[in-house]
Amino acid sequence: MQLTDAYDPQNIFAKILRDEMPSIRVFEDETTLAFMDIMPQAPGHVLVIPRVAATNVLTLSADDARAVMTTTHLLAPAVQKAMEAPGLMLAQLNGAAAGQTVPHFHMHIIPRHKGLEMLGHGTEVADMNELADIAARIRAAI
């Protein structure tokens, strides 16, 4: 995946946006969608994506960048509260060389606890009931 690749409308997040793939949603508005990462690097790992077809930061408009950050900014305290996290990591990868694996722009919100190492990137699929419980706690904290 190169930074200059054309947008692939069959990528997994595009399918989630079109409801062709299931997701555990925590928030959505006109321009963004937030859902649980199915291979969380820590419990409470949430992804925020724009609805527009943008592969990475180079193809995302400033308006959509603002929209993603606004949703991230709304959800960060909810994730923090729901997970009782003393730390929060925001991360966003562009291009395979940076570790991006899904070619639709996304922001990671990852709760961090001192001494609790993050799991590897996209390694272990979480229990869906557990993810649904966590999502309900996050939604309740918005």
Active site residues: 106
Question: Based on CB atoms, which residue is closest to ligand AMP, 85 or 131?
Answer: 131
With residue 112 as reference, give the H or E element that holds it: strand 107-112
| Beta carbon of residue 77, minimum distance to ligand AMP (angstroms, whole number) | 21
Nearer to ligand AMP, 47 or 134 (CB): 47
In a 13 Å sphere around the CA of 101, the CA atoms on its Cβ side amount to 7
Minimal distance, residue 33 CB to ligand AMP, in Å: 11
Asked if residues 134 and 36 have their Cβ atoms less than 8 Å apart, the reply is yes
CA distances from 19 to 22, 23, 54 (A): 6, 8, 18
CA distance 101 to 25: 20
- Name the minimum Å distance from CB 79 to ligand AMP: 15
Euclidean distance between CA atoms 65 and 70, whole angstroms: 9
At closest approach, how far in Å is the CB of 85 from ligand AMP?
A: 17
User: How far is residue 108's CA from residue 87's CA, in Å, rounded to a whole number?
Assistant: 14
Q: Which residues bind ligand AMP (CB under 6 A)?
A: 12, 21, 23, 37-39, 47, 93, 99-102, 121-122
Q: Is the Cβ of residue 39 or residue 69 nearer to ligand AMP in the bound state? A: 39
